[in-house]
Amino acid sequence: MGLYDGSKLINMIAINESKIGKLYEDLANNVVHEKSKNLFNKLAKDEYRHEKIYKKLLENLGEDKNIELDDEEIEYVETLIQTNVLNDKTSNSKYTKEEAIMLAERVERDGIILISQLIDMYDQRDLKEIKTILKEEKRHLKYVLDVKFNSNVSLLGL
């Protein structure tokens, strides 16, 4: 057992929300289909709202950032942080539509894992807003997968 600074995970999630919000804005600006444009604008708005909630959570932690976790759990959280797809220094801001959708899918999947871990770590606290975000992120993943599926169907001419 050891003390772990949970703010590291929360901060990374907040940064991710901002980055994925920007990705969705870029997608919205580069699609011609109005329905897709509206979807990506909505997703971007959600991500920026989530970022604010995480920043508020960080503020509310104050000096109470350390939580007790077993060593295996600490290693797991550190691995999640280190392997975060948006930490990749080689990634650029210019993607094809297909690459952006694949990145969005990975980020939404990772986000669900990260948020679930956050809820597990802080299970004694009132995380109602975070649980709501988790539901929204699951919905976002469904939307991204729908876009991916529809793109693949149109490529096949179906």
Q: What is the pLDDT of residue 45?
A: 97
Q: What is the pLDDT of residue 29?
A: 87
Helix (H, G, I), strand (E, B) or coil at 4: strand
- Residue 106 to residues 50, 84, 116: CA-CA distances in angstroms? 18, 10, 15
pLDDT 10s digits, 92-117: 556 677 787 888 889 899 999 999 99
The whole-angstrom separation of Cα 139 and Cα 28 is 18
pLDDT 10s digits, 108-154: 999 999 999 999 888 767 688 899 999 999 999 999 898 888 776 45
Q: What is the pLDDT of residue 104?
A: 85
Q: Is the pLDDT of residue 41 over 70?
A: yes
Helix (H, G, I), strand (E, B) or coil at 64: coil
Domains and CATH numbers, the chain: 2-156 (1.20.1260.10)
Q: What is the pLDDT of residue 90?
A: 45
pTM: 0.83
Listed in sequence order, the DSSP H helices in the chain are: 7-30, 34-61, 71-82, 97-121, 128-156
> Residue 43's closest CA among 151, 141, 146, 145?
141
> Residue 41's closest CA among 56, 22, 54?
22
Q: What is the pLDDT of residue 158?
A: 39
Of residues 15 and 156, more confidently modeled: 15
Q: Let me know: does 53 contact 126? Beta carbons within 8 Å.
A: no
Report the largest interatomic distance among the alpha carbons of the chain, rounded to a whole angstrom. Answer: 57
The total of other beta-carbon atoms located within 10 Å of residue 84's CB is 18
Q: What is the pLDDT of residue 42?
A: 93
